[in-house]
């Protein structure tokens, strides 16, 4: 059973565009929702995170939107840059972190 | 600051051999996590420790897998005997505490290939 569903699997965006990645979850016990970014040959690294008592969190070009009633959350990357090309994972945590399957993001120069 | 250090970075071995993966967490961190990453199953938690004690090993796939943390600065993940389906990238991560809002810091992984 996939507890955190992520889409799309891959995404191609023009430089300067907006990248949007969506995730959905079922377990209402989740109370922390981090996003991790992974470059080839490296481990995942925390990008940004949100708690469910907040509907939006913004850090620089990265924004998480959170809809608690729909049990959905999304990552928006504004002004996408080639350096953002990576695999991004949404995740949800109760006692442990459950990761989505990842979105391979490619920003065209 | 040194991050999480994993060794070896790559391991190629034949089926049936024993494999030992090593991890040195960030100094001061007291929680350590072992993950496995494959294309099919994504990133899966295998086991995690708090203060060197295993807390949850429900993700360990079979008895062939075992993990130890003899002290705060070292952990091993052992597979014996190894099988081709164990081929994956194995990550170690550490954090300060097990609080839900504590970020986990990942090493760069060990790419394991079982022939």
For A22-54, the pLDDT digits (tens) are 999 999 999 899 999 999 999 999 999 999 899
Query: Which residue of B9, B41, B42, B110 is the best one to mutate when testing the A interface, meaning the one whose CB has the most A CBs within 10 A?
Result: B42
Q: What is the pLDDT of residue A79?
A: 98
Chain A contact for B15, CB < 8 A? no
Q: Which neighbouring-strand residues pair with A86?
A: A105
Question: Residue A1's pLDDT is what?
Answer: 57
CA distance A1 to B41: 11
* pLDDT at site A48: 95
In angstroms, the CA B83 to CA B97 distance is 34
Q: Quick count: other Cβ atoms within 10 Å of Cβ A53?
A: 8
Question: What percent of chain A is modeled with pLDDT above 90?
Answer: 88
Q: Is the pLDDT of residue A94 over 90?
A: no
Burial class of residue A22 in the structure, from the number of CB atoms within 10 Å of its CB (0-12 exposed, 13-18 middle, 19+ buried) = middle
How many CB atoms are closer than 10 A to CB A9?
Answer: 10
Considering only CA atoms, give the Rg of chain A: 13
Banded pLDDT at B101 (limits 50, 70, 90): confident
Q: B91 CB near a chain A CB, below 8 Å?
A: yes
Report the pLDDT averaged over residues B79-94: 97
Is residue B77 within 8 Å of residue B91, measured between CB atoms?
no
pLDDT band at B102 (very low <50, low <70, confident <90, very high): confident
The single residue listed with the structure tokens 């943390």 is: B69
CA B28 from centroid of its chain's CA atoms: 18
Strand pairing partners for A59? A62
> Most distant CA pair in chain B: distance in Å?
40
Give me the residues paired with residue A4 across strands: A25
Q: Decide if A57 contacts A50 (C-beta within 8 A).
A: yes
Per-residue pLDDT band at B100 (split at 50, 70, 90): low
pLDDT of residue A102: 96
Residue B1 confidence (pLDDT): 63
**What average pLDDT does this structure show over A64-92?**
96
Q: Does the structure show a pLDDT above 70 at B65?
A: yes
| pLDDT score of A95 | 79
* Interval B61-75 mean pLDDT: 95
The minimal CB distance from A44 to the residues B45, B48, B106 is found for: B106
CB neighbours (10 Å) of residue A13? 18
Interface of chain A toward chain B, CB-CB under 8 angstroms: 31-32, 34, 41-46, 49, 51, 89, 93-102
Residue from A27, A19, A9, A22 nearest A98 by CA: A27
pLDDT the model gives residue A73: 97
pLDDT (mean) for B2-31: 96
| Three-state DSSP class for residue B84 | helix
**pLDDT interval class at B98 (50, 70, 90):** low
pLDDT exceeds cutoff 80 at A91: yes
């Amino acid at each position: 059973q996939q507890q955190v569903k992520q889409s799309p699997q891959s995404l191609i965006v023009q430089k300067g565009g907006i990248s949007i990645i969506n995730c959905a979850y079922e377990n209402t016990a989740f109370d922390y929702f981090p996003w991790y970014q992974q470059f080839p040959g490296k481990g995942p690294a925390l990008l940004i995170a949100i708690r469910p008592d907040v509907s939006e969190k913004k850090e620089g070009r990265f924004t998480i939107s959170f809809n608690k009633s729909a049990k959905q959350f999304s990552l928006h990357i504004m002004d996408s840059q080639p350096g953002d090309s990576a695999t991004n994972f949404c995740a949800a945590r109760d006692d442990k972190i459950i990761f989505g399957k990842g979105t391979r993001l490619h920003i065209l120069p | 600051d040194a991050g999480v250090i994993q060794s070896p970075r790559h391991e190629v071995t034949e089926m049936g051999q024993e494999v030992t993966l090593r991890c040195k967490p960030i100094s001061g961190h007291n929680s350590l996590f072992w993950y496995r990453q494959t294309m099919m199953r994504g990133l899966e938690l295998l086991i995690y420790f708090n203060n060197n004690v295993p807390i949850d090993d429900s993700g360990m796939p079979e008895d062939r897998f075992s993990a130890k943390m003899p002290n705060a600065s070292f952990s091993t993940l052992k597979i014996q005997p190894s099988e081709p389906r164990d081929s994956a990238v194995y990550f170690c991560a550490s954090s300060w505490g097990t609080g839900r809002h504590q970020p986990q810091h990942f090493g760069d992984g060990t790419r394991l290939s079982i022939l």
